[in-house]
Each structure stands twice: as structure tokens, then as C-alpha cells.
Structure 1
Amino acid sequence: MVDIALNAIVTSKVELSPRVMTLRVAAKDWDMPDFTPGQFGVLGLPGSAPRAHWSEAEPTPSEPDKLIRRPYSITSSSKTREYMEFYISMLSTGALTPRLFALKVGDPIWLGPKTSGIFTLNQVPKEKHIVMVATGTGLAPYIS
């Protein structure tokens, strides 16, 4: 695997089903970014990283020396500073998820230095009641 400034490490991988997993990532020698529940982080791997053996071929092969980056909702608590956890669903022909499913604990990964997203409760007045509905990996923002 080409070392494209992979700045974090996989500390846990739990397959919840054959196509859904949680991936826990910790920063290597830098502070984890702050985030608000409902935001997302960006994960990445080089195009040369191996894909899960059971994934389908990419429609357009990724360039081996380029970093493939994708946003994923954070499922860990915003009070946890040691790691970030992500709830990930397999897209068999995708550029990144088959590579994420091939990772093992201890493998390097790229983690974006900041978080983004506005799917938070910051704008909701405390006296208001809201109903929130989600399924599948859409649960991730509610968990954090």
C-alpha cells in the first residue's frame, strides 16, 4: 500500500452483518477533531489498497497513487476524544467501501482533520418537540 500520509489507525472493526460494519479509527500523533453529534468525518485510502475479496469490480478503476476520500457519519460520542467510530454499509462496486471492508485492526487509514455537516440539533429550540426517523446506516447521526 502506498503511504499517502495515512494519519490514523484502525483500532476496532465489528461486522454487524455481511454488508454493515462499525469502524473505529484513532489519530496517529495528532488530536482528534472536535465534532457535534450529527456531523460527518472523511475517511480515505489510496487506490492501491486491497478491496474485500467478495466485492465486485470497480466500474472505473481507481488510480493507485491517489487518495480516495468519502464522508461517513460519526457514530461515536462527541465526548470521546480517543477515537471516532463510523457505521459503514458496503457498496460492492464503490471505490472506497470495499477497501474499508478489507481493513484489519492496526491498518493505517486517512482521517480528515475536520468534521462537517449541519444535521445537528443546535438550531432546535429546547422547548420544541421533534420526531426523528431513520433506518439502516441513516441511524449513525442519531447514535452520536
Structure 2
Amino acid sequence: MEALNAVLQQKIEVAPGLCIFRVAPKGWDLPEFKPGQYCPLGLPPSAPRVPYSTPPEKPCPTDRLIKRPYSIASSSSQHQYLEFYIKMVSNGALTPRLFALKNGDMLWMREKVFGMFTLDDIPSHKNVIFFATGTG
């Protein structure tokens, strides 16, 4: 199983079931990223779940980390940590474990970011309008 290589610096509850997770690398530097990219997070299946979660839809393999991609919500000009705005999925495999983390707890964060949902291909003279209904 891969080593846990990041630390939860701060968990900020925005509303019930919605938190900002501030995650910092431990022993490595964050890669450069652009708004619109994402980074996978993970925890072992043995990590505790919040008590108010429901059982997952299917059992998790016990021999590898549970990993999920999350959109980066922090500014790309900040290089000490990444922020993720995450909605609790009660019967999910990973979010009940993420929500059980306390500040200072270790987790896994991919050392590379992904995604092409950036503004690179938008001409600077064009306007862009964004609509959102939540986080997902």
C-alpha cells in the first residue's frame, strides 16, 4: 500500500456536510497547477468513518488505498497547501473517512495534478460566464 504523504492542516466546516480541506505535502513540493485542475486524495480502508455515515454501497478492497479525484479550490499562487471543497457522501467509500480526519492527521495526495478544464484555450478578449449549483 502506498505511504501517506500529506497532512490535513485544517478542516473548515462551511455547512453541515460541506468542508474545506487544507492539505499540505509532507516531504515533497506541490506541483504547479492551474485553476480547473484536480488532484487525487486517498486513505486506507482501515481509516475510521464518521459515525453518522451509512455503509458503503460495495465493500472496499483491503489491499490498497481508497482514492478519489477532487477539484482544487485554492489559488494557484499559493504553494504551501491545496484546498479542496468537499461534500459528504454518506455511503461513499472515501468522504466519510475524510470527514473523520482531525487537523494533523495524515492522508495520501497524488504528487501530480490533472485536468484540462482550464482557461488556456480561451482568448483573452472573450468573456466567460460560470454557473454552479454545488460541489460534486
Unmatched runs of 5 consecutive residues or more in structure 2: none
Q: Whole-Å Cα distance in 1 between the matches of residues 117 and 104 of structure 2?
A: 31
- The question of whether the paired residues in 2 share the 8 Å contact of 1:48 and 1:63 is answered with no
Q: Whole-Å Cα distance in 1 between the matches of residues 26 and 62 of structure 2?
A: 23
Q: CA deviation at 1:131?
A: 1.4
Paired position in structure 1 for 2:47: 49
Q: Between the two proteins, what is the percent identity of the paired residues?
A: 53
Q: Whole-Å Cα distance in 1 between the matches of residues 52 and 99 of structure 2?
A: 10
Q: 1:64-83, aligned counterparts within 5 Å?
A: 64-83=62-81
Q: CA deviation at 1:33?
A: 1.7
Kindly report the root-mean-square deviation, in angstroms, between the aligned alpha carbons of the 2 structures.
Answer: 1.2
Amino acid at match of 2:111: P
More displaced, 111-120 or 59-68?
59-68
Is 1:88 the equivalent of 2:86? yes
Paired position in structure 1 for 2:96: 98
Unmatched runs of 5 consecutive residues or more in structure 1: 139-144
Q: Whole-Å Cα distance in 1 between the matches of residues 75 and 127 of structure 2?
A: 22
Matched residue of 2:113: which SS?
coil
Q: Whole-Å Cα distance in 2 between the matches of residues 74 and 85 of structure 1?
A: 6
Paired position in structure 1 for 2:105: 107
State TM-score, norm by structure 1: 0.90
Give CA-to-partner distance per residue, 1:89-139, whole Å, 9 cap, x none: 01111100110000000000000011111111110000111211112126x
Q: 1:1-144, aligned counterparts within 5 Å?
A: 4-137=2-135
- The question of whether the paired residues in 2 share the 8 Å contact of 1:39 and 1:115 is answered with yes
